[in-house]
């Protein structure tokens, strides 16, 4: 019977190969779309929406902001006042206002329209982070055009 000695180098190369080819590697590095969210530090629904995005594979960072500073950020970045909600995200050059579903953000990133971004104005019950989807009220996700006009991007009917 022969005994082969495994060197530390062999083990290191093997472990490195496993990590490099692991499907979990992408998740561990937050390889999904990176979104930066400006939010009131005391808002629970903002945190719930952020958790939903993170669980959907987005790499989420947050920054505390509130009141006039947060409103100024929204308006300076092309969010019309009638589209305002509680938090604002930026992903790959697009603004995301309010409780926009992750699937709509992903669709935006695939279609790449020449637009400011997406908005769910207000805080509709049952939108992501605003209560159970099984009890949601109907709401629309709007595409904000560069001229400030909006059009329906997707529609969610009441559950």
pLDDT in tens, 93-102: 999 999 999 9
Averaged confidence pLDDT in the chain: 86
Confidence of residue 5 (pLDDT cuts 50, 70, 90): low
Residue 13 binned pLDDT confidence (cut-offs 50, 70, 90): very low
Q: What percentage of residues in the chain have a pLDDT greater than 90? A: 74
64-113 pLDDT per residue, tens: 998 999 999 999 999 999 999 999 999 999 999 999 999 999 999 999 99
What does the pLDDT read at residue 15?
A: 37
In this predicted structure, the answer to whether residue 122 has a pLDDT above a threshold of 70 is yes
Nearest of 158, 159, 77 to residue 118 by alpha carbon: 77
Does 1.10.287 match the CATH number of domain 30-156? no
- Decide if pLDDT at 120 tops 50: yes
Listed by start position, the domains of the chain span 30-156
How far is it, in rounded angstroms, from Cα 39 to Cα 37?
Answer: 6
The residues with which 115 forms a beta bridge, in sequence order, are: 145
User: At a CB cut-off of 8 Å and minimum separation 6, what does 8 contact?
Assistant: none
């Amino acid at each position: 019977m022969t005994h082969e000695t495994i060197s530390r180098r062999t083990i290191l190369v093997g472990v490195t190969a496993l990590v490099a080819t692991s499907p979990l590697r992408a998740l561990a590095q937050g390889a999904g779309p990176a979104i930066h969210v400006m939010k009131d530090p005391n808002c629970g629904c903002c945190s719930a929406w952020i958790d939903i995005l993170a669980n959907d594979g987005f790499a989420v960072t947050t920054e505390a902001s509130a009141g006039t500073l947060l409103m100024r950020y929204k308006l300076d970045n092309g969010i019309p006042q009638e589209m305002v909600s509680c938090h604002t995200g930026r992903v790959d050059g697009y603004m995301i206002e309010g409780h926009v579903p992750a699937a709509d953000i992903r669709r935006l990133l695939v279609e790449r329209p020449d637009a400011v971004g997406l908005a769910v104005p207000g805080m509709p019950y049952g939108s992501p982070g605003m209560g159970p989807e099984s009890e949601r009220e109907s709401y629309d996700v709007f595409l904000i055009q560069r001229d400030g006009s909006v059009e329906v991007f997707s529609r969610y009917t009441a559950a």
